[in-house]
Amino acid sequence: MRPDRHSAPTSAAALAREAVILAGAGAAILLQVAHRPVGAGVAVHSRFTEDPMRRLRHTLAYIYAVTLPEAAPVRDAVVERVRAAHRPVRGVDAGGHPYDAADPDAQLWVAATLYAMGEQVRRRVWGALDAEDADRLYRGYAPLATSLEVPASAWPADRAAFAAYWDDRVARLEVTDDARRI
């Protein structure tokens, strides 16, 4: 049964509370690792393939800490834990390309996949939002990037700018051997 349109989540916090949003998790991860620097960092520094649930738990803890108002007391600690985990994730991949988990471009891409896949699942379950609600939901995702030191100006200004960013990035994805192994 399709949920009632009136119960459609219209904020990042409301959407984060919906278990159905996890339907987009696999696609988000695949898109993340198809970004060469992200894929290299995950391949070399993560135990993702051995324990994918650990990665999911950490990602969800971060999303909840950043988006849910009731998580405000632990927000800074969770964000700092993610930053600390990213600090040693740097190097050069097998093709000679550098990667750094703290790179704002890589962080922006990861946050963008969370928005894009979350919005895709939301739209398929609850249908289209009016422009005002869609804009509010989009703006609510920006802190997933900006809390990890992505400059606010790097998060696309609106949904149209995001669509242009997304199309450009998707066209440049590269499924490397690291991504295939993951």
Let me know if residue 115 belongs to a domain: yes
> Which parts of 2-71 fold into alpha helices (H)?
12-16, 25-33, 36-45, 52-67
Residue 92 DSSP SS3: strand
Cα 145 to Cα 155: distance, rounded to the nearest angstrom: 7
User: Over 60: is that where the pLDDT of 95 sits?
Assistant: yes
pLDDT at 74 (0 to 100): 97
- pLDDT grade for 162, boundaries at 50, 70 and 90: very high
pLDDT at 179 (0 to 100): 92
Let me know if residue 178 belongs to a domain: no
Let me know if residue 181 belongs to a domain: no
The model's pLDDT over 27-65, given as tens digits with 9 standing for 90+, comes to 999 999 999 999 999 999 998 888 988 988 999 999 999
CA distances from 54 to 21, 46, 47, 61, 65 (A): 17, 10, 9, 10, 16
Q: Count the alpha carbons within 13 Å of 174 in the hemisphere toward its beta carbon.
A: 11
The model's pLDDT over 125-150, given as tens digits with 9 standing for 90+, comes to 999 999 999 999 999 999 999 999 89
> Which parts of 68-174 fold into alpha helices (H)?
72-86, 104-126, 131-146, 159-171
Closest-CA residue to 99 (of 178, 13, 19): 178
Judge whether 140 and 114 are in contact, CB under 8 Å.
Answer: no
Let me know if residue 31 belongs to a domain: yes
Let me know if residue 3 belongs to a domain: no
Query: Number of folded domains in the chain?
Result: 1
Let me know if residue 16 belongs to a domain: yes
The model's pLDDT over 99-116, given as tens digits with 9 standing for 90+, comes to 999 999 999 999 999 999
Structural domain containing residue 58: 8-172
Let me know if residue 177 belongs to a domain: no
DSSP state of 100: E
pLDDT at 1 (0 to 100): 40
- The pLDDT mean for the chain works out to 93
